[in-house]
Amino acid sequence: MSGTARSKWLLTPLQLATRAFTKWLPLVFIGSILILVHFGVADVRALAAKSPADVALTAAELKDRLDDLKWILGLILAASGLFTIAQGIAAGFSAQSFTKSAEDGLARIEKIEKDIRSKYPVFSMIEKLRISAFSNLTNTLAANSPVSKPDEGFNWRRRFYPKVPLIQRQELLSIEQFNPYEIAGQDDPDEVYASNLRRLALFYWSKFIYEKDRGFGNFGDLECAEYLIELAGRRIGRTFYLYNDLGNVRLLVLSARMDSLRQATANQAPVEAFKTLDLAIDAFEHSIEINPDQIRAYFNLAVIEKDHRHQTAEAIKWLERGLKHSKWEHEVVPEFTCATLFNLGCYCGFLAETEKRPEIVSKCLEALRKAAEIGKMDPNDVQRELLPDISMMEPRAMLQSRLTPRPLPEHGDLFYLSQFGDDATKQIIAELLPKLSANFRPE
């Protein structure tokens, strides 16, 4: 006996009668309606046949005919009403049937989910750990950002990875290795998915910087960061801030590739390094095309011109263009505005050594004065630009010597003016130095 036949024997007589009634009721209604309409139309035809056009009817005969016609029309209207009632009843039965089926389906899904959780508890545990890991990531950002958009106001390069407690960052890494978010989070809303991918990308980017400073950066972290940014862009489009992130990752890729060639001469720099630099420039230029009202992309293009192309005058132009805007990306971030002004002062100080023009010195001092009004520079960054020899502590000097054979001064950008400028210049720089870090709060 088939499964369907067995199920019928398990039903009660009342259930069988109900099923038969709901099955045949629409057909009975439609049949009744058709019969009523048939007899109504037949009566109209008979009535018409009894009334020849050339015979005059008396008032009584005319009344009888009108009464017959009213009855026939009423019969047809009643048939139409029955049809409407039949439709409503059928719709009601269909809605009840659909609701019942939906409830049964949900019940089966809940049972399957419960069975899976009981048989495979590891999946439930992984999901709980994932929620916890991303919650900790968000909380770390919110707790250390001075602006409402935590992704923007936080110094990912220096303070992110070490600010995440060891257990929390290893928890996130473990979850990502077991079931990466780019797969597990596919069903999340676009903005949530892209935001989490971006944070993960910057997490791996910051991880590389943290480990590289300790002598063992994993290049795979940079590739992972670039990959995650690419996925975020596919979901929400290449936004200007994603282009900024991508450009910074590519600059670090360039640095990592050049570090692997410490023993090589300048002429042995790989073609890939120049391509990577061009890709980073393209990313920042695309960011400006999308949204020119920002500082970040201009800041990074200035760094490229100064540190990688040795075009200090061009770098100064990029910083001056960027400082026409107040927002770092979406918001004003005083720390980053201060850094941009400080870099402008340093670049002008560097250029003053070779060009020796009074207007360059004035521009340097004015930028430093504005930076000092904000006072959020890391004192280590300030002191580095005053050192007579930074070749052993400044990684960019090594990188520059790999890209071009042109030698660069190995002292800090402000060293020349602070030591060999005129007395007024030296005095102003000395007065500004402590003010540059007056509002800096070490982490």
Cα 88 versus chain centre, distance: 48
CB 245 within 8 A of CB 198: yes
Assess if residue 38 is contained within a domain: yes
- Please give the pLDDT value at position 395: 42
* Helix, strand, coil percentages for the chain (3-state, nearest 5): 75, 0, 25
Helices (H), 310-422: 312-322, 334-355, 358-374, 379-384, 395-403, 415-420
pLDDT exceeds cutoff 50 at 393:
no
Cα 418 versus chain centre, distance: 45
Assess if residue 89 is contained within a domain: yes
Surface-to-core class of residue 324, CB atoms within 10 Å of its CB (0-12 exposed, 13-18 middle, 19+ buried): exposed
Percentage of the residues of the chain whose pLDDT score is greater than 90? 42
Assess if residue 81 is contained within a domain: yes
What are 242-295's pLDDT values in tens digits?
999 999 999 988 888 776 665 454 455 566 777 889 999 999 999 999 999 999
SS3 397: helix
6-20, 135-149, 245-259: the lowest-pLDDT one: 6-20
Q: Which domain holds residue 33?
A: 22-43+69-97
Confidence of residue 143 (pLDDT cuts 50, 70, 90): confident
Assess if residue 185 is contained within a domain: no
Give CA–CA dist 242/41, Å, rounded: 75
Give CA–CA dist 357/348, Å, rounded: 10
- Please give the pLDDT value at position 273: 74
152-161, 166-175, 200-209, 299-308: the lowest-pLDDT one: 152-161
What are 61-80's pLDDT values in tens digits?
555 555 655 666 665 666 56
Which range, 133-147, 185-199, 404-418, is most confident? 185-199
Q: Tokens standing for 228?
A: 């995650």
Sole residue written with tokens 């979901």: 235
Give CA–CA dist 428/435, Å, rounded: 11
pLDDT exceeds cutoff 90 at 315:
yes
- Please give the pLDDT value at position 397: 39
Q: What is the DSSP string of 228-292?
A: HHHHHHHHH---HHHHHHHHHHHHHHHHHHHHTTTTS-GGG--HHHHHHHHHHHHHHHHHHHH--
Total domain count for the chain? 1
Assess if residue 142 is contained within a domain: no
- Please give the pLDDT value at position 255: 82
Helix 190-212 to helix 240-259 angle (10° resolution) is 20
What are 230-241's pLDDT values in tens digits?
999 999 998 999
Cα angle, residue 407 at apex, residues 404 and 412 outer, rounded to 5°: 115
- Please give the pLDDT value at position 160: 79
CB 261 within 8 A of CB 204: no
What are 97-114's pLDDT values in tens digits?
656 666 776 677 767 666
Q: What are phi and psi of 137, to 5 degrees?
A: -60, -45
pLDDT exceeds cutoff 50 at 17:
yes
This prediction's pTM: 0.70
Average pLDDT for the chain: 79
Assess if residue 76 is contained within a domain: yes
Give CA–CA dist 248/301, Å, rounded: 10
What are 338-381's pLDDT values in tens digits?
999 999 999 999 999 988 889 999 999 999 999 999 999 999 99
- Please give the pLDDT value at position 46: 61
Assess if residue 93 is contained within a domain: yes
What are 318-330's pLDDT values in tens digits?
999 999 999 999 9
Give CA–CA dist 121/37, Å, rounded: 66
- Measuring CA to CA, which residue among 290, 284, 286, 287 is closest to residue 315? 284
- C-alpha gyration radius of the chain: 40
Confidence of residue 190 (pLDDT cuts 50, 70, 90): very high
Give CA–CA dist 368/387, Å, rounded: 17
CB 299 within 8 A of CB 322: yes
What are 19-46's pLDDT values in tens digits?
665 556 656 666 666 665 566 556 555 6
Give CA–CA dist 102/83, Å, rounded: 28
Assess if residue 91 is contained within a domain: yes
Question: What's the rounded mean pLDDT across residues 132-156?
Answer: 78
- Measuring CA to CA, which residue among 285, 287, 424, 438 is closest to residue 358? 424
Q: Which residue has the higher pLDDT, 247 or 88?
A: 247
